[in-house]
């Protein structure tokens, strides 16, 4: 302990960044479904990087729109 704080072991920055992006994607995907536990929401709100959440939101929205376009294309395609 230094200055009353616990010392966390150093993790590689790239591993921490990847974990943050994965947590952001997970939070955005759960928000698309509209289900989230209150305590997990509070934890994510306190720890997630807002930029990661915004980027994850755009990526998930683009994938969702792409899936809808593909489904509409196959449904409206004239049968042979």
Reported as half-sphere exposure (CB side, CA atoms, 13 A), residue 29 has a value of 7
- Note the helical H segments in the chain: 13-33, 38-47, 50-76
Contact 24, 53 (CB under 8 A): yes
pTM score over 0.75 = no
pLDDT for 52 equals: 85
pLDDT for the residue numbered 39: 79
HSE toward the beta carbon, residue 38, CA cutoff 13 A: 0
Given a cut of 90, whether residue 66 has pLDDT beyond it is yes
Sequence ranges of the domains in the chain: 13-76
Write out pLDDT tens, residues 31-63.
888 777 777 777 777 788 888 888 989 999 999
- Determine the pLDDT at residue 9: 53
Report the length, in residues, of the chain: 80
Evaluate whether 20 touches 49 at the Cβ level (below 8 Å).
Answer: yes
What letter does residue 48 receive in the DSSP assignment?
S
């Amino acid at each position: 302990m230094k200055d009353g704080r616990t010392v966390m072991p150093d993790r590689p920055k790239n591993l921490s960044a990847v974990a943050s992006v994965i947590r952001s994607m997970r939070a955005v995907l759960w928000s698309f479904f509209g289900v989230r536990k209150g305590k997990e929401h509070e934890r994510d709100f306190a720890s997630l990087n807002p930029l990661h959440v915004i980027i994850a939101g755009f990526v998930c929205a683009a994938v969702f729109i792409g899936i809808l376009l593909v489904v509409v294309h196959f449904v409206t395609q004239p049968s042979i």
